[in-house]
Amino acid sequence: MARPEGRIALIDVSGSSTGTAADGRQLIVPPPGTLRRSIALFRAFRVEQTDPDLFYGMLAADSARQVAGYTELAGKTVLDVGGGPGYFADAFRKAGANYVGIDADLGELAARTEPGPGTVLGSGMALPIRTGSIDVCYSSNVLEHVDRPELMADEMVRVTRPGGTVFLSYMLWWGPHGGHETSPWHYLGGDYAARRYARKQGHQPKNVFGESLFRITAGRMIRWAKRGRSAGRFDLLDVVPRYHPDGAKWVVRVPGVRELVTWNLVLVLRVR
């Protein structure tokens, strides 16, 4: 499945993307599809807990550019399911989009500052949004935190207008960081990993297996997407490993291998 090429209004999808951290630092992500970009994002991921402004600022800038490779953002209404504390809001608004963020956790919405205009408190599995009213429905690293991921994906399709785009990205359980802060012990079981973390750290992990973190695979959601395509609900534009260079896109086509090395899977849909 080829990725659409071209230059999108306000975003050069072929060059480096930039963002600004909360402390004013300029954040630069190398051009898409390059090994340099992958290395930069993986390095930033290592400081997610200690320097979230750097990681999420870079990820948001890169994400807006990635979405812009499939659809124009300027003037479009973007719904971010699980939008969190505003990093993605900054990036999509910089691209000219009308941004609406929804999150089920008020603490996440207010993690950086008070929730601003265009912020909604609600569940991704029952979106309080009118059917067919959104141009671009986006979600990053949320699907692994819900116990009914197909329902959330169905809701994202429902609220997106015909011709609109759904961009769904999530962390795979069997990848190196599938257990989030409990990794790599999740390979021995999610419950064990959570107990070990609590014993070592003196408190429960933020993401508790079976409560706010669930086992989800690439195969499960690819099968969901193929069923939706066969039913005529949407076109499946792309299935890609989010952080990998272009030369490694083949991994998503190999069952088993993709679960271990994809890390984060992206599904891109065009609603009919």
Top-confidence residue, 114 or 110: 114
Question: Averaged over 265-269, what is the pLDDT?
Answer: 98
The Cα–Cα gap between 239 and 225 comes to: 10
**Number of helices and strands in the chain (H, E):** 8, 9
Q: What pLDDT sits at residue 10?
A: 40
Q: What pLDDT sits at residue 110?
A: 46
Count other C-beta atoms under 10 Å from residue 132's C-beta: 12
The Cα–Cα gap between 224 and 34 comes to: 29
Task: Indicate the helix (H) or strand (E) that contains 235.
Answer: strand 234-241
Q: What pLDDT sits at residue 55?
A: 84
Average pLDDT, the chain: 88
Confidence band of 115 (pLDDT split at 50, 70, 90):
low
Q: Write the CA distances from 267 to 110, 137, 270, integer angstroms.
A: 28, 12, 10
Contact 3, 238 (CB under 8 A): yes
Q: What pLDDT sits at residue 36?
A: 94
Quick: pLDDT tens for 116-130: 666 788 899 999 999
Adjacent-strand bridge partners of 78: 99, 136
For residue 225, is pLDDT > 80?
A: yes
Q: What pLDDT sits at residue 103?
A: 86
* Ordered structural domains, the chain, with CATH: 75-172+216-242+254-271 (3.40.50.150)
The Cα–Cα gap between 210 and 207 comes to: 9
CA torsion angle 233 236 241 247 (round to 10): 180
The residue type found at 72 is E
Beta strands of 32-159 (E only): which ranges? 77-81, 98-103, 119-121, 134-140
Which residue has 């990093």 as its token pair?
87
Adjacent-strand bridge partners of 267: 168, 239
The Cα–Cα gap between 169 and 63 comes to: 10
Quick: pLDDT tens for 62-91: 999 999 999 999 999 999 999 877 789 889
The Cα–Cα gap between 122 and 124 comes to: 7
Residue 22: exposure state from Cβ atoms within 10 A (0-12, 13-18, ≥19): middle
